[in-house]
Amino acid sequence: AQRIFSGIQPSGNLTLGNYLGALNRFVTMQDSGIETIYCMVDLHAISVWQNPDDLRRQTRELAAAYLACGLDPEKSILFNQSQVPAHAQLAWLFNCVARVGWMNRMTQFKDKAGKNAEKMSLGLYAYPALMAADILVYKATHVPVGEDQKQHVELTRDIAAKFNHDYDVDFFPMPEPVIEGVATRVMSLRDGSKKMSKSDPSDMSRINLKDDADTIAKKIRKAKTDPEPLPSETDGLKERPEARNLVNIYAALSETSADNVLREFGGQQFGQFKPALADLAVAKIGPISDEIARLMNDTSQIDAILGKGADRAANIAEPIVNEAMEIMGMVLSR
């Protein structure tokens, strides 16, 4: 059977990148006829220190963002990771299956750790094994993610294959990353070679789902560009990462292709294109940010949704982790 799983870290400001690369696509998939399971991965978030009060708020805010983007908690299972202990259980089993050499090849750890790898938490280093557990504890087959997570889904496949091989079983499926659309890698507004990220020190580098209309317009007005007018074909964007990024954002927000955007704006200067992009972004993001604020007025409703989601998720995950433990030789006598 097919099953879709994905997660987002409750680590702060959700960005336009998270919206276009993840949230918006998750919502589309809930009507695909395949079961959808979406998670707030708080255990991942604590791989770098989080202020506990902030983490609580951010987890509820992320739940509110899922709902504000149109996620229906009846259609999809929506929950936070720490309320389903099977994730952490399977992660330990996978720590014993995955190899240190595999982790050493993970580019996200290298990017996040920089020169400080020795000072990072062990959890940040082992992050991909927990992510593999998140996916495989549901035997998920499809994982919608942004381009940046492709390597981790590939590692998940390696872990599944090694488990199946080491214990001579055909237990875990080989999940596929689903990376599609024009916005699988939304770039920073200040540097077209860096992805837009909620942890970038510059707030001007990203559009946050919580930004008001004026802030969104200002960030787009100040976004880095080049002096040339927009080309009339996507070929002309090849060596122009900042221009390409803004065109792709416009295309994704208006649910069309970059070619179509250039058909409309080709030949125009950024002075004309940027206000149109700002209007579009405000029209799409504004209602979401209002709805997040409205939902945050009653967090007990959010907590109830998460509790129910956790029960549904645990019902699927527990038998799978128990079977994995039995395969590995653990005695489960109750």
3-state helix vs strand vs coil in the chain, percent to 5: 60, 10, 35
Is 308 noted as a catalytic residue in this protein? Answer: no
Q: Show the site string, 156-195: x = touches ligand AQP by CB under 6 A, - = not.
A: ---------------------------xxxx--------x
186 is in an annotated binding site: yes
Is 284 noted as a catalytic residue in this protein? Answer: no
Which member of 3, 4, 5, 11 binds ligand AQP (CB under 6 A)? Answer: 11
Choices 14-22, 74-82, 88-96, 241-249 (CB under 6 A): range interacting with ligand AQP = 14-22
The pair of three-digit structure tokens given for residue 103, joined into one six-digit string = 């982790």
Secondary structure of residue 42 in the 3-state scheme: helix
For residues 281 and 217, what is the distance between their CA atoms, to the nearest angstrom? 8
Is 195 noted as a catalytic residue in this protein? Answer: yes
Tell me the residue type at 257.
S
Smaller CB separation from ligand AQP, 205 or 225: 205
CB 27, CB 101: distance < 8 Å: no
Which of the residues 198, 210, 218, 224 is marked catalytic?
A: 198
Which of the residues 112, 219, 274, 284 is marked catalytic?
A: 112
Which of the residues 139, 195, 219, 284 is marked catalytic?
A: 195
197 makes contact with ligand AQP (CB under 6 A): yes
Which member of 83, 88, 124, 148 binds ligand AQP (CB under 6 A)? Answer: 148
CB 146, CB 21: distance < 8 Å: yes
Min separation Cβ 38 and ligand AQP, Å: 11
DSSP of 78-123:
EEEGGG-THHHHHHHHHHTTS-HHHHHT-HHHHHHHGGGGGGS-HH
Cα Rg, the chain, nearest whole Å:
21
Residues tagged in the binding site annotation: 9-11, 17-18, 134, 146-148, 186, 195-199
What are the binding residues for L-tryptophan?
134
Give the residue numbers marked as catalytic.
Answer: 112, 195, 198
